[in-house]
Structures are given as C-alpha cells and as structure tokens.
Structure 1
Amino acid sequence: SLPNMYFLVKLLAQIITRTFFKNVTVLGKERIPLYGPVLFVGNHMNQFVDAAMLIAIFPRQIRFLIAEASFKRPIIGRLAQSAGCIPVQRPQDLRYRGIGGLIWSSSSDVRIRGIKTRFKIDVKFQDTLIIDDLGVSRKVLEVVSDDEIIIDKGIGTEYSATYTDGFPFFIMPKIDQSTVYEEVSDAMRNGHSIGIFPEGGSHDRTTLLPLKPGVAVMALSSVLEGAEDLLIVPVGLNYYEPHKTLSSAVVEIGQPIPVTLELAQKYEESPSDAVKELLSMVEKGMNSVLLSARDYTTLTCIRLCVQLYPPDRTALSQDNYYLLHQLFSQFFWALHDDPELEHLRKDLCEYEDTINHYGVPDREVWQLKQPVYECIKLIITKFLLLILVSIVGGSFFPLWAPIRYIPAFMAERHRKKALANSKVKIRGTDVLASYRILVIIALLPMLTVFYGIFFSLAFMHGQNLNSKIATVIGVFIILPPIFYISRVSFEMIMPLTRNIRTLFYVVVSNINYLRGTERTLLHMRIKLQQKIRDLVYTKGPQVSPNFIQSFTTVVPDAVIQADNKRINYSLGEYVPVVTRAKYDAREEIL
C-alpha cells in the first residue's frame, strides 16, 4: 500500500514552489493520465526541486526513484520516505580508488597489467574501470590475477612513461538492480505512477545528457509481467534562472508514449534492440518539451531573440512566450552553421554586453523613447513605490536576514563541492536552489522558535507559563508569512532602483543633447529587431515548411509588417550624434 503521508509532502511541495518561484506555468496538463500505470520521465536540471515541482502540480500521486545516497540524508530522506520514493543505488555513489596503478602495452591492448595492484580483491566481472586522467572508462571482462585484467576494449591512448607507478584508477562496481525493477513492476501492475529522471543525475547543461537504459528496461519488463496499457509521459522542466528566487518556470507535458505488447515481446527476443527503440522514442519525446541550446551563449541569444521579435510592449501570454522560445530554439539548432546566423549571434552578444555595461535590461530599453514629462511622472510614481517597499522590506530585514544569507552561503559552498565531484556539471548551479530550500526548512523553525522565546522573555515579565507558550506559538505561526511579504518587498528594491535610473537617463539625454548612451542602445535594438525578423522570414522555411506559420500564431504577420515600417521610419531618429552626419547627408541627397 502507498504511504498515507503523501498529502503532507504535496502540501510542502506546493508551499515551496509557490514561494520560491514567481510563477509556474503548466502546459498540456490534459495529457496527464489520471488512471493506470504511468512512467513520468523528466529532465533533471534542479536537483530536488524537480521532484517537488511535479509533486506540487500533478493531480495524482507519484513515487519517484531517488538515489540511495539522497534517501539516507536527514531531511530529504524523511520526505522521500513519506512520499513513497524508491531508493536506487547508483554506481557513481559507490566509486572507490583502486590500489596501485595501471599499465598497458598499446592503445588497443585489452589486457591491462597492474603495479602493486590487488585485482582479485578490488575488481569483479562487469565492474567499470575509470582512469580520470584520460577521461576513460572500460568494462572488466575477466580478472586474470592480482596484477592482470581483461577489459572490453583498448584504452585508446598510448601509455605514458611519466607515470612510473602506473595510471591511478577508480572502480565503479556493477550493481544488481533487480529489487528496484521488481518494485517498479509491482507498482505498474497495480496501476500506480512512477517518476524517474533518466539522465541519472542533476546537471546544469543546456541539453539532455545521454539517457540511461533503465527506464526502457523497467517499462518493457513491467509490460511482460502484466502491466496493462502502460504509458511513458515525457515532462519538460524549463526554468528561467533556476537557482534564483522569484524566477519563472514552465512545465510542459508531452504526448504519452504507449509501451506496446509487441515491443515487450521483441524485448524477450532481442533486449538491446527493443531497449534502443523505446529509449529513442523517450528521448524524442523529452526533447520535444525542452528549451535546449548548444551552449549558454546560444541560450542567451535565444532569450534575447524572444524579447526582440515581438513589437515593443506586446503583452504575450506565458504560453505564447514559451512557444516563441521553442521556435527560436529550433531555429538556432537547425541553422547553427549558417554564416548569417553566426553574425546575428555576434551582434546579440555585443548588445548583451552593452546593456549590461549601462545596467539597463532589455525589457526597459523601450522606456528610453518616453517623452520627458512621462518619465518625470513615472520617476515620481516609482520613487513613492520604492519608499513603500523599502519600509516594508527593510523593517523586518534584520529578523529574516539569516534566512537569506546563511542558506546562500552554505549553498554556494555545496555548489563548489558538487562541481568538483562532477564530470557533467558546467557551473554547478543545479544544486543551489535545492540546498538553499533544505537549509531554510531546517533553519526557519529554529529561528522562529528562538524569536518567540526571546519575545516572551523580553516583553512578558510576570506572565504565567501558558501565556509565554502561547506567545511562542503565535510568533511561530505569524512570522513566516511576514518574512515572506517582507522578502518579496525587499526583492523589489533593486529592480525599482534600476528602472528609476533608466528613466533618469531619458531626462538627462534631453538636457544634454550630445549624450549618446540612450540613442546607442535604441539604435542597436532597432537594428537587431530588423535583422531577427528578416532572418526568420528568409531562413525559416529551411527549418520546416510551416515554420513561418508557427510564428504568425504568436504574433500575426500583419502586426510584424506594420511594426517593421514603424521602426524603420524611426531608425534615423535614434542614430547616435557622432554618426548623425551620415544620415543627414543621405537625407539631403534624397
């Protein structure tokens, strides 16, 4: 039977997602099967937050597969047990340093010898041998003696004599996962749902890691053991700055993939072929619900294109904003070798560097066109709002400051450790949000109880014990929502300050006509808008026949064409003063 504490875990997950993220949009929720056996497969970019997100938004109970190392941790382990999670031993968690060193005669030699090794004790059949210095891992086929083993294929690199004691190596033991497979099959036969992240571990890359075959093996073996109408549902967890509080997230549910009896029977006859076929379908389904890019620079360019393509101040729904992001992701993948797109990338990077230099985010650049009287009115309005949020955010700041800075400090230390121990992480930002949340879960109750005791002792002299206990309980209940409101107000201070500064630039530029900062930004932005739209319309058909039509569902073609005329007409108005002579000369000729 499933654990009956799931509702508490779900409640906690909903609190976490609603307080940590500013908004979470769910697309394709109607594709979630409410009954029958389901394997939910998702990308893994935000460690424990990924599971919390799915628990919070999915209308049915999910049992997640979780690393046994995490299952044994104090807080997350308790929550995982309450949610009915299934612990899985991961080979990388059991990896250990081998004694001695390795040598080989040639790059293709499968017979490896050891110096001061004890292979009979340390290594077993099907274990994985890892040489970190070369980035090589090989399966062990036979342990011949304490100083000789046979691997599945050659190292691929000639032995270097500089390693006089042999290459240092690590061993990753082969693990029998039959118990896990049996538990998953049992859950599938009973019509439950299982959540799994088939990449194996969390990461901060901009693409999927190679999927582990375990998800396909579980699905096929479950069907063979009697699970009827089993579906695999891909889930895309797409975060905008996943490690930052009050950021946004989009969860897209993909089309369910049926695991047929015919494919399961093929698995009996040819396991590797059936697993590859199903794994290919799963990977295709997952890629269809992800916002991916070749690297972080390309991801930044895609996000800028999404902001620059629509006319200024167009109020796109979150669904359309996400669709536009998907379209530009496809555009950059399909045309990554195109010289014109590469030139656009350079221009976008230059624009990004320029707005970062001046401290004006792209979403505020349009405000540089505002008339002076509008800017003055907005400055006054936003300054009054800044005073209000400063009072609300600053009043309780000394009380909740430990909740802001202690978790951030500890999470950063954990990030560096995780990055050093990982071969797939780029920056290690995937662990930041989870670790901060775990520290807050532990710290917040202790801090509120401490404040409650302090207030009861400091301000309730002569009161009986019951009154003091009631005060502690009252403070424990009241302070968390006050902290949250104060924190949200505090987080508004910097954006408001930056916005006031942007509006102040407009006033200054009207006083000092020779000042070129604002015109430079506006001119760069308009030129980029023209270039992006031209490329979409000229190169779009190379991506797919209906590519342009997909764009017009987000922003109608008539709107884009009208805006093109508008920005083309206004382009000369925002030319920097130092280059205006060329435009004036051209106008004289015309």
Structure 2
Amino acid sequence: KMMITMFDIVLNFFGFILNTFFREIKSRGSHNIPKEGPVIFIGAPHANAFVDGLLLMKYSKRQVFLMIAQNAINYGHYVDILARAIRAIILKRPKDLAESGKGKIFLDESKADSLRINGINTEFTNQLKVGYQISLPREYGSSEITEIISDTELVIKKEFKEPKALEVLTQPGGTPYTCMPYVDQSNLYETVLEMLNAGKCIGVFPEGRSHDRSELIPLKGYYSISKLRLFKLLMHFIDRYLLLLVGIAFMALGAMAANLGLDIKIVPCGLNYFQAHKFRSRAVIEFGSPISIPSELVEKYNMNGSDRREACNKLMEIIYERLKLIAVIAPDYETLSVIRAVRRLCRPENRKLEIDEMIDLDRRLINGYMKFKNDSNVQGIYKKVKEYDQLLKYNRLKDYQVHKTTTSTLTAALKGSYIMISGRHVIATWKILVSFKVIPISYGIYTLISLSLAYKYNWGFIMNFGLFSPIIILIMLFMNSYVTIRLFDIGTDLYRSLYSLILTLSQSTIKDLRKIRNELSYEIIEIINEIGPKIYPDFDNECIIQQLKEIKSK
C-alpha cells in the first residue's frame, strides 16, 4: 500500500514536470486502454529518451511498470531513486556492463580458420569467459566466444563477414575491442511473467534507445528457439535493441502458454512532438485499439521449433503494423518536412487545427503520398512545395506569417503553428534532468537570501510567519516562476510576430508570396479531392469543395 502511494506521489511529480516543460499535451485514444487485466504498452517512435516513458505513465490511466535499461540508471543517483519509486523493471544488458579489452585483436589471414581470433598483449584467460562476446569498434560486429585457448587465442561462434569488420581485423597492429559479459535474464523473465499473471501493466519501447529518425527503426526477424536456450536468447534479444519487440512477443506468448486463462492485451502507443527539445513545446500521445493475441498463435508457440518461431514472428508483425497506424512515419526528414508544409497549405480556413488533429492529418497525408508518390501530379506538387518552402526560408518567413499577416490587427499575426524538424532528441531529457539539481539549489539559495534580507530590513509580511517564513518564500518563488513561464509564452509569440509585422511596410513581398501560396493550396486540395476517396472511405468531398471555393474567391 505504501509503494502504491509512493508511485502516485512520484507520478504526480512527473506530471507537474511535464506540464511545466510542455506548453500543451494532448492525449488521444485513452478509452482504448483496458481498465483491468494484464496490458503491455508498446511505445514508438522512441524520440525523446526519458520523456516518452513519463508521458506513457502519466496518460495511460493505469499503473505502468516501465522497462528501463541499466545505462539509463547510471545517469545519476536521483534517477535510480525515482526508477525504484515507480518500480521500474531494470534491464541489465551486456553492453551496459561492457569494458574495453586489454591489448588488440586480429584475424590471421594466413590461416583458413576464420573463427579463430588472435591477440596482441591480450589477457583472454583472465578477462573473458566462454559465453562472453567480443565487439568491434563502431558497432562493426560482435560474436560469442565458444572456446578460450590461451591469453592470445580464442574461438568465436560466428565469423565476422562484414567488409568493415574484416578491414579492422586484418589491419596492421590489430584493432581495439570490447568485452561484453553474459547476463542471466532468468530473473527478468520471471518478473515479467509474475506481473502479467497478476494483471499488471508493462511499458516497453521496442526500439530500445531513443533516436532522431523520421521512421520506425526496422525490426529484424526471429531466431530459432528451444526451451534449453530460452534465457540465453532472451539475453540476446535485450542486448540487441532492435530485437526487443521479439523478446516481448516471446514473453507474451510464453505467459499465455503457461497460464491458459490469461488474456494479455497489447496496446500500441504513438508519441509525437512539435519541437521536442524546446522548453514549452507541444506533445501528443495516442493509444491505439488493444491487440488481442490469437489463440492459434499460443497453440503454435506450444509446439516448439519452427511453429514457435512462426508464432513469434506473426505477433511481432501484427504489433509493428499497428504501431505504424498511430505513429507519424515518413521515409526521411525531407518527406516529413514537405508533408507538414502540405498540411499547413491545405488546412481548413475557418478554424485552427488542434495538435492531435495535425498529427492525424500528417499521418493521412503521408499514407496518401506513399501510395501515389509515383504519380506525376503528386511529384509536381512535391517539387513546388519544396520550392515554396525554400522561398520562405530565403525571406526568413514562416507559412503562417504569409497566410495571416495584415496591417489591421496584431491578433491575426499571432495565429499559426510553429513547426520545426529537429534531431536533438535527448535535449528535453537533459533539460529536465539538469533541472532536478539546479532548481532545488537555486530555490534554496533564493530562500536564504530572502530570509537574510527580511531579517536585516525587518520585512514584517514575511517575518510575522515565524518558522513558516521559508515555506511562504518558497510558495512566492513558485508563483513567480509560474507567472514568468506564462509571460515567456506570450513574449515568445510576440517576438516571432515582429518580423512579419515589419514586412507589412513592404506589401509587395507578402502579396507575391500570398499569391504563390493560394495557387499552391488550390492545386494541393484538388489532388487531395481526387485521390482521397481512393484511400479513405470517410473522405469528405463537400468540405474540400468548399475550401476550393474559398481559395478561388481570393
């Protein structure tokens, strides 16, 4: 009971942090989350390190136990304390315990045995054991050790075939290497099974570490598994973050096979950000409809061999396809930039889109583009939007400034959506982590200074509270911080609008850009009206026709 109370306290604390850092957070699809029973939340894309997990915990409306890698705990002692308070499941991966190998290793080309690795000034017998892995620099490859012959000679299970790996192994003087120990994951597996059997929720980010790519990291295939190799392969899954989803599929099927009455639901969770690294940015978290694990997959899992492999592969494919439905996934950043520009050009004139509606529109536009990207008309629009975007950058303008700037009112100039693609995917996390240290220290110093001044100058409105004076000062500091943040939001909007207001002195530039924009908007909406019904049955032709009339009348 005490632990649950602590969990709630920590969760509310995280909620306060999130609401302070983000200007707006939208949650969609929370009604899809089962109110009871075991649930595995699968989050993607993993674009914002610790922040993704905090959002999942806060808006899932269930007590979620996150899977956190050991290296994340190493960020600081306070992170370890918070992780234990929320009862996170700690993943100890071999690469988290890796250490640099002594000496250098090389592959003797004069010998036909490509599995035999030699060393220079190495201590294989002291530093390595059978079952450990040796890893080459820059992730050129790794392989498990099957036999240690001497301090300078060992045998690996799988030969290095990649050209880069062979290049560093055969270079004069050898190459540095990393030693990764074998980690027994049996306790982890048992913990997960116990939680699922108890009807609890687990949160996982199958891409492992956070990234700044515009698409989901592709998930690899499944390996042959037997009960005797269960824990060893589970370690392999967790070591290679790309295969973590396979490990989750294995755990889910294993739990249902062990307990036939268990009904595990898998809920995909899409996370999307606008300027994720910036203070007072925006975020959207979306929960998809729960995935029920088919009974035939559980039956196949029980058969072992190729049937077990097929069952895990099939469940992984189902999860991956459902993730793609709720995440904004583009093949590259250029396409994502163009799609978001198209969204701004085709959005309804009579109202401002909410951020969750923006995400949904982005997703639909990307889906349409991927299906018709070879169409000549679509390619033509793609090129024109890129040119228009370059023209805006040349004039140091945003699209909303061209669309809304007038000399008659400041309000119109303030409307718009500030969109920027950024690869700085861990900056938000570091800002929050640093604030954990800086803010308490700063508030403590400010409180001491205020108490000293109050005592020196006899400020009655503070000193009259006696021992409660420090608390009163802290409350005043928090209120001051809140007001400062709100003023910062307003001031930032005003600052961003200054340049567009100055340009109203030269209306020719705005008029030319506005003309180009209107023509481009008309072409985009015409194409959407043409191909939209081919993709989406709920496509609203009447709404599009009305938009075309409004643009044509300008």
Answer whether TM exceeds 0.5 for this pair: yes
Please tell me the residue identity of whatever aligns with 2:247. G
Give the equivalent residue in structure 1 for 2:158.
Answer: 152
Please tell me the residue identity of whatever aligns with 2:255. S
Match of 1:135 among 134, 140, 144: 140
RMSD: 3.0
Match of 2:445 among 424, 446, 450: 450
SS in 2 for 1:65: strand
Tell me, yes or no, if the aligned pair for 2:404 and 2:413 is still in contact at 8 Å. Answer: no
Match of 1:535 among 527, 532, 538: 527
SS in 2 for 1:291: coil
Matches within 5 A, 1:558-569: 558-568=542-552
Matches within 5 A, 1:185-200: 185-200=193-208
**Worse overlay, 44-53 or 167-176:** 167-176
Give the equivalent residue in structure 2 for 1:475.
Answer: 473
Q: CA deviation at 1:14?
A: 1.5
SS in 2 for 1:447: helix
SS in 2 for 1:77: helix
* CA separation of 1:519 and 1:308: change in aligned 2, threshold 3 A: same
1:2-43 deviations in Å (ceiling 9; x for gaps): 543011111112212222222222111111111111111112
Tell me, yes or no, if the aligned pair for 1:40 and 1:235 is still in contact at 8 Å. Answer: yes
Tell me, yes or no, if the aligned pair for 1:235 and 1:289 is still in contact at 8 Å. Answer: yes
* CA separation of 1:347 and 1:70: change in aligned 2, threshold 3 A: same
Tell me, yes or no, if the aligned pair for 1:109 and 1:153 is still in contact at 8 Å. Answer: no
2:79 is the alignment partner of 1:95:
no
Q: CA deviation at 1:142?
A: 4.5
1:274-324 deviations in Å (ceiling 9; x for gaps): 222221122112111101111222111111111111243533344433321
* CA separation of 1:491 and 1:83: change in aligned 2, threshold 3 A: same
Give the equivalent residue in structure 2 for 1:301.
Answer: 338
For the residues of structure 2 that align with 1:46 and 1:76, how far apart are their CA atoms? Answer: 16
For the residues of structure 2 that align with 1:344 and 1:174, how far apart are their CA atoms? Answer: 54
Tell me, yes or no, if the aligned pair for 1:131 and 1:168 is still in contact at 8 Å. Answer: yes
Matches within 5 A, 1:101-120: 101-105=105-109, 110-116=114-120, 117-120=122-125
Give the equivalent residue in structure 1 for 2:253.
Answer: 220
1:478-535 deviations in Å (ceiling 9; x for gaps): 21232122123123324213324323423432xxxxxx42123213312321332233
2:28 is the alignment partner of 1:24:
no
SS in 1 for 2:506: helix
Give the equivalent residue in structure 1 for 2:319.
Answer: 282
Tell me, yes or no, if the aligned pair for 2:43 and 2:204 is still in contact at 8 Å. Answer: yes
Q: CA deviation at 1:56?
A: 1.6
For the residues of structure 1 that align with 2:160 and 2:49, how far apart are their CA atoms? Answer: 35
For the residues of structure 1 that align with 2:404 and 2:429, how far apart are their CA atoms? Answer: 36
* CA separation of 1:453 and 1:134: change in aligned 2, threshold 3 A: closer
* CA separation of 1:559 and 1:133: change in aligned 2, threshold 3 A: closer
SS in 1 for 2:162: coil
Q: CA deviation at 1:131?
A: 2.4
* CA separation of 1:160 and 1:105: change in aligned 2, threshold 3 A: same
* CA separation of 1:136 and 1:532: change in aligned 2, threshold 3 A: farther
Match of 1:164 among 157, 161, 172: 172
* CA separation of 1:348 and 1:119: change in aligned 2, threshold 3 A: farther
For the residues of structure 1 that align with 2:318 and 2:528, how far apart are their CA atoms? Answer: 29
For the residues of structure 1 that align with 2:321 and 2:347, how far apart are their CA atoms? Answer: 29
Give the equivalent residue in structure 1 for 2:282.
Answer: 248
* CA separation of 1:184 and 1:160: change in aligned 2, threshold 3 A: closer
Tell me, yes or no, if the aligned pair for 2:143 and 2:156 is still in contact at 8 Å. Answer: no
Q: CA deviation at 1:261?
A: 4.8
Tell me, yes or no, if the aligned pair for 1:310 and 1:560 is still in contact at 8 Å. Answer: no
Q: CA deviation at 1:437?
A: 1.1
SS in 1 for 2:109: coil
For the residues of structure 2 that align with 1:200 and 1:37, how far apart are their CA atoms? Answer: 22
For the residues of structure 2 that align with 1:109 and 1:341, how far apart are their CA atoms? Answer: 55
Stretches of structure 2 that go unaligned for 5 or more consecutive residues are: 220-241, 415-420
For the residues of structure 1 that align with 2:466 and 2:544, how far apart are their CA atoms? Answer: 66
Please tell me the residue identity of whatever aligns with 1:225. A
Q: CA deviation at 1:186?
A: 0.7
Give the equivalent residue in structure 2 for 1:42.
Answer: 43
For the residues of structure 1 that align with 2:110 and 2:318, how far apart are their CA atoms? Answer: 39
Match of 1:546 among 519, 529, 535: 535
SS in 2 for 1:473: helix
Give the equivalent residue in structure 1 for 2:79.
Answer: 76
2:216 is the alignment partner of 1:183:
no
For the residues of structure 1 that align with 2:100 and 2:539, how far apart are their CA atoms? Answer: 54
* CA separation of 1:550 and 1:140: change in aligned 2, threshold 3 A: farther
For the residues of structure 2 that align with 1:538 and 1:195, how far apart are their CA atoms? Answer: 41
Match of 1:495 among 493, 496, 506: 493
For the residues of structure 2 that align with 1:356 and 1:234, how far apart are their CA atoms? Answer: 37
Give the equivalent residue in structure 2 for 1:86.
Answer: 89
Normalization by structure 2: what TM-score? 0.83
Tell me, yes or no, if the aligned pair for 1:120 and 1:143 is still in contact at 8 Å. Answer: yes
Give the equivalent residue in structure 2 for 1:258.
Answer: 292
Q: CA deviation at 1:191?
A: 1.0
**Worse overlay, 187-196 or 91-100:** 91-100
For the residues of structure 2 that align with 1:311 and 1:14, how far apart are their CA atoms? Answer: 33
SS in 2 for 1:235: strand
Give the equivalent residue in structure 2 for 1:62.
Answer: 64
For the residues of structure 2 that align with 1:343 and 1:108, how far apart are their CA atoms? Answer: 56
For the residues of structure 1 that align with 2:374 and 2:131, how far apart are their CA atoms? Answer: 41
For the residues of structure 1 that align with 2:112 and 2:482, how far apart are their CA atoms? Answer: 61
* CA separation of 1:27 and 1:161: change in aligned 2, threshold 3 A: closer
Matches within 5 A, 1:272-351: 272-338=309-375, 340-351=377-388
For the residues of structure 2 that align with 1:9 and 1:250, how far apart are their CA atoms? Answer: 22
* CA separation of 1:522 and 1:181: change in aligned 2, threshold 3 A: same
Tell me, yes or no, if the aligned pair for 1:449 and 1:472 is still in contact at 8 Å. Answer: no
SS in 1 for 2:62: coil
Please tell me the residue identity of whatever aligns with 1:224. A
Matches within 5 A, 1:334-483: 334-338=371-375, 340-368=377-405, 370=406, 375-378=407-410, 429-461=424-456, 467=465, 469-483=467-481
SS in 1 for 2:135: strand
Please tell me the residue identity of whatever aligns with 1:105. E
Q: CA deviation at 1:180?
A: 0.7
Tell me, yes or no, if the aligned pair for 2:115 and 2:158 is still in contact at 8 Å. Answer: no
Tell me, yes or no, if the aligned pair for 1:127 and 1:172 is still in contact at 8 Å. Answer: yes
* CA separation of 1:291 and 1:428: change in aligned 2, threshold 3 A: closer
Tell me, yes or no, if the aligned pair for 1:63 and 1:193 is still in contact at 8 Å. Answer: yes
1:41-77 deviations in Å (ceiling 9; x for gaps): 1122111111111222122211111112333532221
Q: CA deviation at 1:569?
A: 5.4
Give the equivalent residue in structure 2 for 1:206.
Answer: 214
Q: CA deviation at 1:566?
A: 4.3
Q: CA deviation at 1:550?
A: 4.2
Give the equivalent residue in structure 2 for 1:15.
Answer: 16
**Worse overlay, 359-368 or 308-317:** 308-317
Please tell me the residue identity of whatever aligns with 1:567. I
Tell me, yes or no, if the aligned pair for 1:111 and 1:149 is still in contact at 8 Å. Answer: yes
* CA separation of 1:143 and 1:521: change in aligned 2, threshold 3 A: farther
